[in-house]
């Protein structure tokens, strides 16, 4: 196997490596940060990661994965994080100012079309708009995973609204295993 050199090109990212995908667009954008082996991973450091995120959300045919779009998406992601973590909305309002909804009437009836000051704001604006929709639907169902080592977010669609984990198979089981380990070791002291 050849040794990597400074001239070795990295393998392009083609599949979404994130542990949780398919959340509403605003939360899916926040989930481009995740933990692996105790370190934060970031999908949106290069345009190739943006291309993966756009494809995961069906936006790849509408928006280019270039450096300016990447910058705008990262601004939107930071604004969403600030709004959720600290309740400060000025930055998010700034992102929302980069687009608008235009009402339309088609043969199928009333509709809406998003319009952007610059199309490179499109993906970030759509994510910010998605957050507004979540807030108007069920703000109490926007959650952060309860596992202390997880930073993922999800929209709780469970019937009774008591989902705690981003994934029962991953974080839920890890938490149960930790509690079991703590109980069994505590009894051995």
Instruction: For residue range 98-113, list pLDDT tens digits in order.
Output: 999 999 999 999 999 9
Q: Which residues pair with 155 in a beta bridge?
A: 142
d(CA 107, CA 130): 26
pLDDT at 1 over 80: no
Structure tokens at 50: 């943006």
pLDDT at 9 over 60: no
Those residues with Cβ within 8 angstroms of residue 119's Cβ, 6 or more apart along the chain or in another chain: 63
Question: How would residue 3 be classed by pLDDT, with cut points 50, 70 and 90?
Answer: very low
Mean pLDDT of 23-40: 97
* Mutual angle of helices 67-86 and 47-56, in 10-degree steps: 70
Q: Which residues pair with 105 in a beta bridge?
A: 110
Question: What is the predicted pLDDT for the residue at 2?
Answer: 41
- For the chain, domain boundaries: 25-141
pLDDT at 48 over 50: yes
Question: What is the predicted pLDDT for the residue at 182?
Answer: 55
The alpha carbon of 76 is separated from its chain's Cα centroid by a whole number of angstroms, namely 11
The alpha carbon of 109 is separated from its chain's Cα centroid by a whole number of angstroms, namely 32
Question: Please, what is the average pLDDT of the chain?
Answer: 89
- The per-residue pLDDT for range 135-185, each reduced to its tens digit, is 999 999 999 999 999 999 999 999 999 999 998 777 866 655 555 455 666
Mean pLDDT of 31-42: 96
């Amino acid at each position: 196997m050849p040794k990597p050199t400074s001239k070795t090109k990295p393998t392009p990212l083609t599949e979404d490596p994130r542990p949780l995908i398919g959340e509403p667009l605003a939360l899916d954008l926040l989930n481009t940060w995740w933990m692996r082996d105790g370190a934060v991973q970031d999908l949106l450091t290069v345009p190739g990661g943006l291309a993966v995120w756009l494809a995961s959300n069906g936006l790849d045919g509408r928006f280019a994965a270039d450096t300016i779009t990447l910058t705008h998406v990262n601004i939107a992601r930071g604004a969403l994080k600030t709004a959720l973590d600290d309740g400060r909305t000025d930055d998010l309002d700034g992102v929302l100012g980069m687009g608008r909804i235009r009402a339309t009437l088609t043969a199928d009836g009333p509709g809406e079309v998003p319009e952007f000051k610059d199309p490179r704001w499109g993906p970030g604006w759509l994510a910010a708009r998605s957050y507004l929709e979540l807030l108007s639907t069920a703000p109490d169902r926007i959650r952060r995973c309860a596992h202390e080592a997880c930073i993922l977010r999800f929209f709780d669609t469970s019937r009774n609204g008591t989902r705690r984990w981003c994934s029962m198979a991953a974080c839920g089981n890890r938490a149960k295993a930790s509690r079991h380990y703590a109980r069994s070791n505590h009894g051995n002291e």
